[in-house]
Chains A and B, each alone.
Chain A
């Protein structure tokens, strides 16, 4: 039947023990037995998706015309800015990820105050220094700027009869800021001091020399904070923003400018809110359903396939333990379709076993010896198990790619659990079941195939 049974058994025991260790603990901890110091520690508590625990999902897209390229770095910066801001709100377990080239998906599970988060994200913190010419401008005025527009788009002629909204020219954006801090002027009024990077300094110097006496508005998210007159050229690359600030508002703005200036403007293109009760109800029911389904299947296998069926049942339970450990270990977020994907891959694991057992029975009926039939069952069934599972893996890879590009974490979760499940199921059928059955058949001498194999 198979060689090195003991080695194989040891491998299985180690794998299962390792899997159970991850399954049964929420934190993996290895400490030094001599002094108790922690050598390795990792949080592996299961992550539930939004559909199971409720929460908010927002899909943001770069608010720039299609033909303007968005660099990967600026998307990454925008992502971490949003992450920092929302984490600062005290929302736990946020996930902010880049989806595709110009989208960012944010997931805020278990959230009650969805308003706060959306507002925080929408304060894009896009700081602009805008040339407003000779007009002084009151703080709080909302204006339009040409930042991010392609040159042609900025010069579109307005429709007749409508007053054209004035589009002001952005001299420089917040990305040029190198340092910001709160200071006080001689009267004790709070203001924000900033320093520019070298590129920004040059632009700023050039502009202030050419436009002395005109107004330069400091605009945050299209809202004018202050619009000082350029009294003298600023060539040193630093300056102050003064406005009606108290310490809190000055500090809040500083924090937003320091961590928060988004390199690209973002707009919300999709948002989903799932109520917590809906999610919890689904979770309970689906878990119960999964359990009932698995019990029926385990019984069916044992009754129909007898001895091999029971070994298959054991290996399916091992499979479930390993799969769950892998999901926890690499941090797969469990969603409802994810559970469905897992159950389908359980079906795949069973299919591999069934293919082998049907073959085993067939060969026994043809009058082969148990040893011959056993070897043939696995070698003959292998080609169909391999090819059919490869087809499923190909499909789940395409699904993953699709889900990833659109921040559709539900589709992605399904694809991951299906692909991982199918891979683990191969190990379970080809290695675990085979070893267990060989060991059992070695220990007990079977003469009555009718009784033990259900032929």
Chain B
């Protein structure tokens, strides 16, 4: 089975899948939740009929609260986002809602101060950066015995960036069609995907490491291809059969609160397996053969 021969086909395929979402991101910006921007989210149910969003917005404006946006959900609740509310303002809102629309019950109320939101964003970026850096250092150290150990670390990071780009892309599309947001739970999912993406790449690399002493006489491309094929069964069984089964069960039967999180994990972990085979390992070969020297010449090796 020659999986490496078509590497440029797979590179293109990944780009085609990732680009649409990234274009959405570039045009409409990150759909950051109040966890990062600061603000408040109030989810309420009504005993009587659910009021029109416009009425609720008027009520907020009367109470002198800015940026109110109202969303109705499948379960019949209203989700109202606005600027940061302290408890007095929240009480004012609830009292006037009770007066205007009948008995109102709070299902969820999140209010994040603007300074907190800012700090969460910078710390989150730092968390992602620090964990990737540590893992690269760890891989380079762990592969120190073989030629070009740092390449393995960097290839693993490229594969990881591929997975990260993909879940951002999926979330961007989700934000348009399903109203998804990037919240702290998304961040949790993101970091998990990073961890497992590394795990997958490392399993393939480990086989290359083992084979590069045993099958020294093979040329590098054949050796890498051989290693991928040898670990393929494990990749499919672990990822598709077990992890994805567990996550699919959560996605279909789990609570709505968790759905976006599960979909992010589902896509991210699948992408992690894909990228370990079709991004991380091929990049090693491209690097070893220095193929970029022929990229812009006629009849490139596609």
Contacts and interface: CB of A to CB of B under 8 A. Distances in A.
A336 B257 contact: yes
A406 B116 CA distance: 8
Interface string B130-169: 1100110011001000000000000000000000000000
Contact of A351 (B106, B242, B248): B242
Contacts of A270: 110-113, 116
Interface stretch (A169-177, A247-255, A322-330, A407-415): A407-415
B207 A59 contact: no
Contacts of A245: none
B249 A388 contact: no
Nearest to A288: B253
A102 B128 CA distance: 23
Contacts of B107: 274-275, 277-278
A285 B255 contact: yes
Q: Which of A270, A273, A418 has most B Cβ within 10 Å?
A: A270
A408 B115 contact: no
Contacts of A122: 87
B210 A380 contact: yes
Interface size class of A (residues with CB under 8 A): 35 or more
B241 interface: yes
Contacts of A289: 249-250, 252-254
Contacts of A389: 199
Contacts of B231: 358
Contacts of A273: 106, 108-110
A399 B135 CA distance: 14
A231 to B, nearest CB: 39
A355 B261 contact: no
Given A278-B257, A344-B192, A351-B238, A296 B249 contact: yes
A293 B249 contact: yes
A380 B213 CA distance: 14
B86 interface: yes
A351 B234 CA distance: 8
Nearest to B251: A289
Contact of A271 (B110, B115, B187, B261): B110
Interface string A251-267: 00000000000000000
Contacts of A292: 249, 253
Contact of B206 (A300, A387, A406): A387
Contacts of B134: 394, 398
Contact of B241 (A61, A277, A300, A395): A300
A310 to B, nearest CB: 15
Nearest to B192: A344
Nearest to B253: A289
B124 interface: yes
A286 B250 contact: yes
A358 B242 contact: no
Interface string A421-438: 000000000000000000
B87 A268 contact: yes
A230 interface: no
A64 to B, nearest CB: 13
Interface string B37-64: 0000001000000000000000000000
Contacts of B242: 297, 300-301, 347, 350-351, 354
B198 A286 contact: no
A304 B241 CA distance: 10
B176 interface: no
Contacts of A44: none
Contact of B131 (A61, A383, A395, A410): A395
Given A285-B253, A384-B202, A395 B195 contact: yes
Contacts of A274: 107-108
A414 B256 CA distance: 18
Interface string B95-128: 0000000000111111111011001100110010
Contacts of B253: 285, 288-289, 292
A414 B243 CA distance: 16
B132 to A, nearest CB: 9
A59 B117 CA distance: 12
B120 A406 contact: yes
B238 A394 contact: no
B137 to A, nearest CB: 9
B188 interface: yes
A362 to B, nearest CB: 7
A297 B234 contact: no
Interface in B170-219: 184-185, 187-188, 191-192, 194-196, 198-200, 202-203, 206-207, 209-210
A277 B108 CA distance: 10
Interface string B218-240: 00000000000011011001100
A355 B242 CA distance: 13
Contacts of B43: 275
Contacts of B91: 115
A148 interface: no
Nearest to B91: A115
B258 interface: yes
Contacts of A399: 127, 131, 188, 191
A201 interface: no
A134 B225 CA distance: 89
B105 A391 contact: no
B258 A391 contact: no
A402 interface: yes
Contacts of B123: 402, 405-406
Given A282-B254, A384-B202, 9 more contacts: A271-B87, A282-B257, A289-B250, A384-B203, A388-B200, A388-B202, A395-B195, A406-B119, A411-B187
15 contacts: A268-B113, A272-B108, A275-B43, A278-B257, A283-B255, A289-B249, A296-B245, A297-B242, A300-B242, A301-B242, A337-B261, A341-B192, A390-B142, A395-B198, A408-B184
Interface of B: 43, 86-87, 91, 105-113, 115-116, 119-120, 123-124, 127, 130-131, 134-135, 138-139, 142, 184-185, 187-188, 191-192, 194-196, 198-200, 202-203, 206-207, 209-210, 230-231, 233-234, 237-238, 241-243, 245-250, 252-258, 261-262, 265
* The 3 residue pairs across chains A and B that have the minimum distance between CB atoms: A282-B255, A293-B249, A395-B195
